[in-house]
Structure 1
Amino acid sequence: MASIRERARGALLGLAVGDALGAPAENLRPSEIRARWGRITGFVADNPSGTDDTEYAIFSGLLLSRHGSALAPAAVEAAWHEWIADREEGPFRGAGFSERGTLENLRRGLAAPISAQHRHAWSDGLAMRAAPYGVFAAGRPAEAARLAAIDGSVSHDGEGIYGGQAVAAGVAAAMAGAPPTAVVAAALAVVPDDSWTARSLRRAVAVAHRGERAVRSAVVIGGYPWTDLAPEAVALAFGAYAAADGDFRQAVLTAVNMGRDADTTAAVAGALAGATQGAAAIPADWAAAIGPARGSCLPAMAGHHVLEIADLLSPEHEQAEVPS
């Protein structure tokens, strides 16, 4: 069985690989993906790299390595100022809608949780950076969810928090060797049973055996323009992971070919499957394409590699494997 360190490396490298694979398909429909590339089976960009998903995951990993279980909202807010809000912005200008809203509020002097009061507090911006909490709290899904919620208090609310908690808890369970069914159960256990996130996740997993078209149909709200809805993106990611029964390649490619917020859904599916199988399950050519972050979104993250973050978060958590 994979060691905790290898699972940690699998989770965060898997996130970065999924992000890079999914980026060209972001906001596309499956029909548009097929028209351009047929079925995506590998990188379709000439120079693949991670997007805001990878750089914000590095941000959360560095924040967590600094504070550990003592993480508090004030520390998260201070990190947003130190590494993002009070610096020159990269070409991507701070990433998605939830990040823009958060940055504008922080720069106006608002503090958490008021800083999270913007139009996109329900986005998948926390979910995309939540995997490090699962790596840190390996085998402790409730603790992973608690820490993710603290991180999210600066930028998200409601369903946006729940989506991040589900991802963090799922990764934490996978890090301890739980099988995919138990990973899904761990994610559902930390969010309200009647939440949009939980309902979407249950629907996605229930039809996962029928493949990606069924998963997409069960989750996506037809005609809704925003693809960064946390309940949708998280459900698509878990649906892809369940459809693949935890297999890394299949999970990531299923997420990519469903389109919508494909970089985030593939990043989350990659984190779950990478934690389940370990770094060795990631195809070598995919892994080799992932270099240090370029700082395109967050200049302060430039030069940091996801494997560095995985190693920062995992050594003190070496422990016996939990039987599956």
Structure 2
Amino acid sequence: MLGLAVGDALGAPAENMKPSQIRQRWGRIEGFVTDDPVGTDDTEYAVFSGLLLAEHGSSLTVAHVEAAWHRWIADLDEGPFRGAGFSERGTLENLRRGLAAPISAQHRHAWSDGLAMRAAPFGVYAAGRPAEAARLVAVDGTVSHDGEGIYGGRAVAAGVATAMVAGSTDAVIAAALSVIPEDSWTARSLRRAVAAAQCSRLTPGSTRLGTERAVRSAVVIGGYPWTDLAPEAVGLAFGAFAASRGDFTGSVLTAVNMGRDADTTAAVAGALAGALGGIDAIPNHWAEAIGPVRGSCLPSMAGYHVLDVAELLTPRPEEATAS
């Protein structure tokens, strides 16, 4: 959860930028580029889903999720609500019109990465159980996503669930692929990104820039105006994770410097690498910059810290023994 928040804050300034624009402005991003780093809707929605999951656990239903969307978001005064993705806006419009799930997810952006960005809590809760993590995140996503949007969330949740207990990037990638259709766009994008990362990494004389270009070329849809496609964003995130062999710093910075939906790709890469390496893998000066969320997107989430939510999702030793 902390890895997600760090990746989100690192990537936020580069969101929707091309790598050439990033290089022109900052050279290569190697850390926070603002004096006040802050996360986006990615972190706030992860907190939202984490609190919902902590309340209901494996008994979570679509009705619970829909009720939470109404209680914490749709039925409140909107407030600033800055930074919400298209899928979330479409969902809220449908809920406010009285539509219920799964009809609430029938909007033009049901394929977005909005579920993938909030999928990490399900992997934390279902550590070592990728199929259960994928099942639960799909329950959450039924209110807001469909098709490839659901597949992206399932891949991330299963990847995090495995990273919580595994010791290799290969196991994490295999778990992600195991819970989505083999012939789906998301699966093809993920496989292409990982293959490009591994091939570039093994090429003599290859550089970080070369690897980033290879991964981008493998999955980015050239000329398409939106950067929040779940198959693309999930592919880029897993490509960054694979290129860096799960190293936290390398994973998030690779994702950031590839641009596109950089806050989400870095958040997902950070969640995967954070779960694999643990909290000690995250540089202290990055971790210390993460405070309670500010509610700039979801006012009802203001004041929650991702580590507090993570604590709610993690069973205490005596609870784990009893179960």
Bin for the TM-score computed over the shorter chain: over 0.9
Q: CA deviation at 1:315?
A: 2.3
1:129 to 115, 118, 131: 118
1:111 to 85, 100, 107: 100
Q: CA deviation at 1:94?
A: 6.7
- SS of residue matched to 1:315: coil
CA distance in 2, matches of 1:155, 1:316: 32
Corresponding residue of 1:229: 229
What runs of 5+ residues in structure 1 fail to find an aligned partner? Answer: 1-11
Corresponding residue of 1:300: 300
- SS of residue matched to 2:78: coil
Deviates more, 1:81-90 or 1:126-135: 81-90
Q: CA deviation at 1:192?
A: 0.3
Q: CA deviation at 1:316?
A: 4.2
CA distance in 2, matches of 1:140, 1:181: 16
Deviation track 1:55-78 (CA, whole Å, cap 9, x = no partner) reads 000000000000000000000000
The count of corresponding residues between Structure 1 and Structure 2 is 309
Deviation track 1:249-306 (CA, whole Å, cap 9, x = no partner) reads 0000000000000000000000000000001110111001100000000000000000
Corresponding residue of 1:176: 165
Corresponding residue of 1:268: 268
Corresponding residue of 1:87: 76
Deviation track 1:10-33 (CA, whole Å, cap 9, x = no partner) reads xx0000000000000000000000
- For the aligned residue pairs, the C-alpha RMSD in angstroms reads 1.2
Corresponding residue of 1:6: none
1:100 to 57, 79, 89: 89
Per the normalisation by structure 2, the TM-score is 0.94
CA distance in 2, matches of 1:246, 1:117: 35
Q: Does 1:257 align with 2:257?
A: yes
Q: Is the 8 A contact 1:84 1:94 kept in 2?
A: no
Corresponding residue of 1:69: 58
- Stretches of 4+ aligned residues off by more than 3 angstroms: 316-320
Corresponding residue of 1:315: 315
Identity over aligned pairs, percent: 79
What runs of 5+ residues in structure 2 fail to find an aligned partner? Answer: 201-210
Q: CA deviation at 1:45?
A: 1.6
Q: Does 1:163 align with 2:152?
A: yes
Q: Which letter maps to 2:233?
A: A
Change (3 A) 1:319 1:205: farther
CA distance in 1, matches of 2:167, 2:95: 39
Corresponding residue of 2:242: 242
CA distance in 1, matches of 2:241, 2:80: 32
Corresponding residue of 2:32: 43
Q: CA deviation at 1:319?
A: 6.1
- SS of residue matched to 2:131: helix
CA distance in 2, matches of 1:156, 1:288: 33
- SS of residue matched to 2:291: coil
Corresponding residue of 2:208: none
Per the normalisation by structure 1, the TM-score is 0.94
